[in-house]
Amino acid sequence: MKSREQEYKEIFIAEALEYFDALNRLISELEKRPQDDQVLAEIFRMLHNLKANAKAIGYLQISDLSHKLETAFGLIRNKELSFSDEVVGVLFDGIDMLGELIGNIDGEFPVEPDQVLLRNLDIIVDSLSDSTIELAKVQKFSTSRNLTLSDLIYIQIRKLDHLMNLVGELIIDRDRILSLSRELDHDELKQVSSHLYRITEELQYSVMDARLVSIGTLFNKFPRVVRDIANAEKKEVDLELSGQDIQIDRNILQIMTDSLLHLVRNAITHGIEKPAEREKSGKPKTGNLELSARSDRESVVITLADDGKGIDLKKVRSAAVQQRMVSADVAEDLPDSEVFSFLFEPGFSMAKEVTEFSGRGVGLDVVKNAIDSIGGRIRVESEKGKGTTFTLQLPTSIAVKGALLFEVDSIFYAIPLIHTDSVVALDKDELHEVSDVLVADIKGETVTVVYLHELLNTGEPNMRLGDKTRLQGQVQNIIIVSYNNRKLGLIVDKLYRQQDIVVKPLSKPLDSIDLYGGVTLLGTGKVCLVLDVPAITKYFISKR
């Protein structure tokens, strides 16, 4: 695989060549209609972009030349320079040279910009009225021109979506064929199917790779956003970015865009204090906001940390009580991690006033829903006076997920690994009936446990989630899942393996049933239901 740098370079060259083609077309048009402001504006814009891109990637000759041309066209636009024959010649030469430079970035013999031409450009720019200075003859670049097509193509994301779906289907069928070939115990078939396995795997990763974009494409928009919000709030904020090179599926990034923007707004308006206030509490005047990304096994972890005033747990508790999400005495005893989870409840708000940028009734629940929808996780940590950190764990790809397979009442289920914490086997005696639920001590932590069979299959009026007699057998297999800072143990009948699955969304009218995130087909051809951990947690809470 090529390095990132190489990839950026290729993208730059492809774009630059496109600009070059467009510039040639536009300047020819301009020659015919010198008064056309739109064409001029377009040329100006392109040269400007080219200059900026070239500078960013370090091709200074291209950026310098673009700059000179841009200046000349700027003067023409402001009617300070007439688009006369002499000038036209120089500009055409300049654009030709630009093409030559771009085309030879990767060439064996780097091209040096023609000094005579550069001087000519300077002359037309500097000696506006006094055009008596002779323009020197330049060697023509266009003589050696070849017509070339770009190495890069643009492709609509929906075509890649379609491709990804097809690959998903292919993988399902491949697994089926693989399992059939084992059953039939036919050597040649086994050979062919294992080859098929390798090819589809490579195909899958290639398609996934084609959909990846670097997180920087989103991160790099934030410096400006932060500046604007900070200005409006009269705050001073430094933004630190890191991990821009981390790759993530384009659609996942798209879905996260609004959420990230929301969190950043929140951090500045509600987190970071005004300069005076910060100094009073012994902090540097300028607040610090850190937006970073890193890869973690199969997922991408984005963290947003501010050094603001932090979340006041006491206030969260009282707001939750006020908004009747929990009774006062229960709120007192809730562990901090659960108190934080109120922040993500629909309708929960602590904002007293509405500003231009936050507190317009869109809460963290919207962020949470967006993350749930792609099967990610969000966590918040905060210390009063020190700051708040949001951690978003996102899958790198939507379609293929690692999952844990299990069985309840002869139905196959899967839970995406991103939601599972651990798997334990406990003796029935280690489960305790506490009020209406079962609890167990798991690695020193008291965790609520629920028998999935009871939760899913018993008629709702007869459901008794705190009744141990409903359990079957002595040893219980428990999958610990975690959602919204809450852990929940799910007792399953049989635990199978860990496996990469392709989640197919449920088709209508079943797509509105929250409990299932989708289905997948097992190698045996059996349908396996993919449980949605957020929904199952919510369902459990509503039935408790």
Closest to other proteins by CB, 30 vs 529, is 529
Closest to other proteins by CB, 50 vs 488, is 488
- Which structure tokens are listed for 289? 């906001």
Tell me if 173 contacts other proteins by CB under 8 A.
yes
- 189-192-194 Cα angle (round to 5): 105
Using the rule CB under 8 A, which residue among 56, 136, 513, 541 binds other proteins?
513
Tell me if 346 contacts other proteins by CB under 8 A.
no
Closest to other proteins by CB, 361 vs 509, is 509
Using the rule CB under 8 A, which residue among 52, 192, 527, 541 binds other proteins?
527
Taking the complex as a whole, how short is the minimal distance between the CB of residue 515 and other proteins, in angstroms? 6
Taking the complex as a whole, how short is the minimal distance between the CB of residue 532 and other proteins, in angstroms? 12
Residues 389-428 contacting other proteins, CB under 8 A:
409, 411-412
Tell me if 516 contacts other proteins by CB under 8 A.
yes
Tell me if 172 contacts other proteins by CB under 8 A.
yes
Strands 400-408 and 420-427: what pairing? Answer: unpaired
Closest to other proteins by CB, 254 vs 457, is 457
Backbone torsions φ then ψ of 407, nearest 5 degrees: -130, 140
Nearest to 42 by CA among 150, 33, 89, 54: 33
Taking the complex as a whole, how short is the minimal distance between the CB of residue 408 and other proteins, in angstroms? 8
Q: How far is CA 91 from CA 65, 105, 128, in A?
A: 11, 21, 15
Strands (E), 273-410: 287-296, 299-306, 377-383, 387-395, 400-408
Tell me if 457 contacts other proteins by CB under 8 A.
yes
Tell me if 158 contacts other proteins by CB under 8 A.
no
Taking the complex as a whole, how short is the minimal distance between the CB of residue 167 and other proteins, in angstroms? 14
Closest to other proteins by CB, 275 vs 505, is 505
Tell me if 151 contacts other proteins by CB under 8 A.
no
Cα(525)–Cα(241) distance, integer angstroms:
46
Taking the complex as a whole, how short is the minimal distance between the CB of residue 456 and other proteins, in angstroms? 4
Tell me if 196 contacts other proteins by CB under 8 A.
no
Closest to other proteins by CB, 221 vs 526, is 526
Q: How far is CA 441 from CA 113, 435, 438, 444, 453, in A?
A: 74, 16, 10, 6, 21
Cα(485)–Cα(507) distance, integer angstroms:
31
Tell me if 490 contacts other proteins by CB under 8 A.
no
- Which structure tokens are listed for 222? 């934030």
Length of the chain: 544
Closest to other proteins by CB, 495 vs 515, is 515
How deeply is 234 buried, as exposed, middle or buried, from its count of CB atoms within 10 A (0-12, 13-18, 19+)?
exposed
Q: Specify whether the CB–CB gap between 257 and 213 falls below 8 A.
A: no
Tell me if 515 contacts other proteins by CB under 8 A.
yes
Sole window of 204-212, 294-302, 394-402, 499-507 interacting with other proteins (rule: CB under 8 A): 499-507
Laid out side by side, the sheet with 299-306 consists of 237-242, 287-296, 299-306, 387-395, 377-383
Taking the complex as a whole, how short is the minimal distance between the CB of residue 527 and other proteins, in angstroms? 4
Cα(473)–Cα(493) distance, integer angstroms:
9
| Interface ranges with other proteins (CB under 8 A) | 169, 172-173, 409, 411-412, 456-457, 504, 506-510, 512-516, 519, 521, 525-529, 539
